[in-house]
Structure 1
């Protein structure tokens, strides 16, 4: 026991010279050392306390280690256990000799690696959020592939909507006119269009092609236009002769 305490006292004396402000003796066999990452990282402040409890058979056995939070930064879930596991591995390699300084140095390195891991994880999360946002925006603008059927359906609906809107606009325009101008517009609308007149003339032109000869219908489509005109003029001359004879009687 005397040799164990002498070994500890000698180690504590060395530790106090190395960590004058960081070391705190909690008892004859327990110390707390404040450790910080090797390099400060902006946006990731972190400081922890390494608590070392020495068993009577130290340094031939690994001391009990714990990592506690301080007033700077927070240890996230599982981080303290991960650091302690690394330190236990370092202690295993240092059995048989004073190892507290080595453990404190390893703790600083572990905190630095922990912050790097945080940065990598945060970047991955940011990238995942960015991809999700970009995919969502792309889905909004991608729409449905256009086919001939979908285009025709859209075109029919669009033209119908356009015609309805024009009709509505025209009705509103007419309603805003003075009464006299409204009547004039109505007359123009009721007046047959050139196309309607053309269609009517076609019907009239073909209506006399079925003439009657001796009480039977004659298909005038078999004759040329000149022959049909001569036949029509002959009928008119015959009618005038009969009229003159009746007048002379």
Structure 2
């Protein structure tokens, strides 16, 4: 390729990318590339496309390399972009292709940002789902079965018995020997409830005693006329002769 033809392409590129293009030598340039449609809320991306034109250009591909100038690209992403550039370049052999390569990279950077935005959205949705499941599991608890309830009850009763034993032991420590004996005797006395549970006929006996002492009254024999006469008798006033 003649120097005049290459100089002509450089001139066109400089008019399109006045601030992005840097001319390194007569056969080498560097162009800063940003997404053509930046995605808000996603890490900015920018690349430097370094192009070195060979003698056979444009009938053969130029040598080019990519370098991230803003944001981060992993090696697999860089390799993928490089392979795509080679494919685009091969499709445009025989003509000036630098502008086409830059346009393709700008589109691919926008696609990368959209992919990252979608990946971020999925990750946040997954975190929210996991948090929701964890909260549901926490509030739902463990299903109760007969076996699990029996196991829990046995453990609970054992813990309560041990707790009462410790409390009794602490209480006895502060008592004199005589007070301990009295306290132990008190514990062996049966409460009213225990007596009732031992002999349930006690309540029936009490009722029988009450029935024996009770006086039966037939209210039907006490009619209204008799009550009125008694009330009138009470209201009468007896006067003596001295009055």
Q: Mark yes or no: TM-score above 0.5.
A: yes
Counterpart for residue 14 of structure 1 = 12
Counterpart for residue 36 of structure 1 = 34
Please, which runs of 5 or more residues in structure 2 have no aligned partner? 200-243
Residue 49 of structure 2 contacts residue 66 of structure 2 at CA under 8 Å; is this kept in 1? yes
CA-based RMSD: 3.4
Pairs within 5 Å for 1:150-229: 150-170=148-168, 172=170, 185-191=183-189
CA offset at residue 176 of structure 1? 5.8
CA offset at residue 14 of structure 1? 0.8
CA offset at residue 32 of structure 1? 0.9
Pairs within 5 Å for 1:103-182: 103-128=101-126, 145-170=143-168, 172=170
Residue 42 of structure 2 contacts residue 116 of structure 2 at CA under 8 Å; is this kept in 1? no
Return closer, same or farther for 1:77/1:121 CA change in 2, 3 Å cut-off: farther
Counterpart for residue 48 of structure 2 = 49
CA offset at residue 90 of structure 1? 2.3
Q: Which of 86, 89, 99 does residue 88 from structure 1 map onto?
A: 86
CA offset at residue 66 of structure 1? 1.4
Tell me, what secondary structure is at the counterpart of 1:68?
Answer: strand
Residue 32 of structure 1 contacts residue 51 of structure 1 at CA under 8 Å; is this kept in 2? yes
Tell me, what secondary structure is at the counterpart of 1:97?
Answer: coil
Residue 36 of structure 1 contacts residue 47 of structure 1 at CA under 8 Å; is this kept in 2? yes
Counterpart for residue 58 of structure 1 = 57
TM-score (structure 1 length as normaliser): 0.63
Q: Which of 88, 95, 98 does residue 96 from structure 2 map onto?
A: 98
CA offset at residue 35 of structure 1? 0.8
Residue 31 of structure 1 contacts residue 51 of structure 1 at CA under 8 Å; is this kept in 2? yes
CA offset at residue 168 of structure 1? 3.6
CA distance in 1, matches of 2:127, 2:115: 18
Residue 42 of structure 2 contacts residue 113 of structure 2 at CA under 8 Å; is this kept in 1? no
Residue 29 of structure 2 contacts residue 51 of structure 2 at CA under 8 Å; is this kept in 1? yes
CA distance in 1, matches of 2:196, 2:106: 100
List per-residue Cα deviations over 1:185-229 (Å, max 9, x = no partner).
Answer: 4443244566579969xxxxxxxxxxxxxxxxxxxxxxxxxxxxx
TM-score (structure 2 length as normaliser): 0.64
CA offset at residue 112 of structure 1? 1.3
List per-residue Cα deviations over 1:144-181 (Å, max 9, x = no partner).
Answer: 55332232222122123223323443554566679997
Please, which runs of 5 or more residues in structure 1 have no aligned partner? 201-249
CA distance in 1, matches of 2:100, 2:197: 108
Tell me, what secondary structure is at the counterpart of 2:75?
Answer: coil
Residue 86 of structure 1 contacts residue 110 of structure 1 at CA under 8 Å; is this kept in 2? no
Return closer, same or farther for 1:35/1:192 CA change in 2, 3 Å cut-off: closer
Return closer, same or farther for 1:142/1:5 CA change in 2, 3 Å cut-off: same
